[in-house]
Amino acid sequence: MSQPRRRLSLLTASAIVVGNMIGTGAFTTSGFSLADLRSQHAVLLAWFVGGILAMFGALSYGALARRIPESGGEYTFLGQLVHPLAGFLAGWVSLLVGFTVPIAAAALAMAAYLAVPFGDAISHEWMGTLALLAIGALHGLNLNAGVALQNGAVALMLIVIVGFIAIGFGSPAIQWGATSAGSLAEVEISAFAVTLIWISFAYSGWNAAVYIASEIREPERNLHRSLWMATGLVTILYLALNAIFLFSTDAENLAGQPEVAAIAAAAIGGRELSYLVSVMISLGLLTSVSAMVMIGPRVYARMADDGLFPKWLVTTNDVPTAAVGLQITLAIIVVWIADLRELLSYIGFTLGLSAAVTVGSLIWLRAKEGPDRVPVPGYPWIPGIFVVFVTTAAVFMVQRQPYEAGVGILTVLAGLPFYWAMRRSR
């Protein structure tokens, strides 16, 4: 495989991270979290802690990326630092859990939100399929077209989100002094930990730029900057958005509801603002789909080049066209056959474990090579706190939701026979 040209700027890399982070979890998670925690303040605290953990993860991945500025994300890091099998399983998780299911979920959610202002002229499945085919064609045929789509969509989305935040904070409908059904002191630690798993799904994507490191200009300088800059921006936006969501109306009206953004918009500005928010969410989901379709196939192309996936997935002519086709095909299949509402915990649990193992490999690398070759911001606290918090939340997840956790573990183990089969074929 020819080496990809480094044509992506710091701005584009940051836009990819922002676009990959802002998705359906940002606009739906607080309702479910409020039902479990029974405190607006506890939910907002969970969003703050989730943002801090995402920042710690971004700083840790940035340190890894400066040491190994190559595409592939966890597949590359774990394959080089731990064992090729660990790298393969990370790539396997990326294929099934990291990209395919979230792409399909975002496409379906986008179709559902567009139906609010525009009606159900066509089914959600067909609308999601058409959106995936269009985005796949842009990213699979021409790099410049995909980059232009990503940058433009992210810019427009940020304008709309900032506008909604300004309207929300200026609205007299916001009940900043509202009392919660419960207090912070009454919140169960296990419930808070599971909420962090849900919120981690909303923050997932903070590591997006590492999947395309080989295509970023001056990666040693720009790659880690794109991670922490984009993560910081999204954290601020998430805290502002969810503060408006949580205090726009009584907690009883929000608890357990997936459409907290629409409920908040209706309370603040009536039907017209609710329609605007629906379009805003659809735009955010479009950028999320675009970012995942742009970066996910590059992992599979890298694995194909290493002989761990079929050779026809190797990148040609600057873009991994075949891998994009595979990604779109798998996502469309999931759109038509799966009920995705129960998969959010499963996605957050599995991706969280993958990230924790990767950051753990950074701690091992730092101990092996020293601070001069592997500088890590805030070492050992930043990577250490990330690993401890994520693994502890995963343990509580196993206790409270064993089915979703079990499916996540089985997903990882299912990659073993494929790894051995590909090794034999070589």
Which domains are seen in the chain, by residue range? 10-425 (1.20.1740.10)
Residues in the chain: 426
Low-confidence ranges of the chain (pLDDT < 70): 1-6, 24, 141-147, 149-150, 177-185, 258, 316-318, 338-345, 426
Phi, psi (rounded to 5 degrees) for 216: -95, 135
Q: Provide the pLDDT for residue 182.
A: 56
Q: Residues 41, 267: contact at Cβ < 8 Å?
A: no
Helix, strand, coil shares of the chain, percent, nearest 5, are 80, 0, 20
Return the pLDDT at 98. Answer: 80
C-alpha distance from residue 284 to each of 20, 86, 155, 194 (Å): 9, 33, 10, 25
97 CA to centre of own chain: 11
Q: What is the reported pLDDT for 1?
A: 45
Q: What is the pLDDT of residue 385?
A: 95
Phi and psi, residue 6, nearest 5°: -85, 90
| pLDDT at position 190 | 81
**Residues 77 and 358 sit within 8 Å (Cβ to Cβ):** yes
Question: For residue range 211-240, what is the model confidence (pLDDT) as tens digits?
Answer: 777 778 887 788 888 899 999 999 999 999
pLDDT of residue 2: 47
In 3D, which of 19, 49, 33, 34 has the Cα closest to residue 390? 49
Look at residue 251 in the predicted model and tell me its pLDDT. Answer: 79
pLDDT score recorded for residue 80: 92
113 CB neighbour count, 10 Å cutoff:
26
Query: Which ranges in 38-173 belong to alpha helices (H)?
Result: 40-67, 74-81, 84-93, 101-118, 124-141, 143-169
Residue pair 247/264 in contact by the 8 Å Cβ criterion: no
| pTM of the predicted protein model | 0.82
Quote the pLDDT of residue 394: 87
Q: Which two tokens stand for residue 340?
A: 């995705």
pLDDT for the residue 142: 65
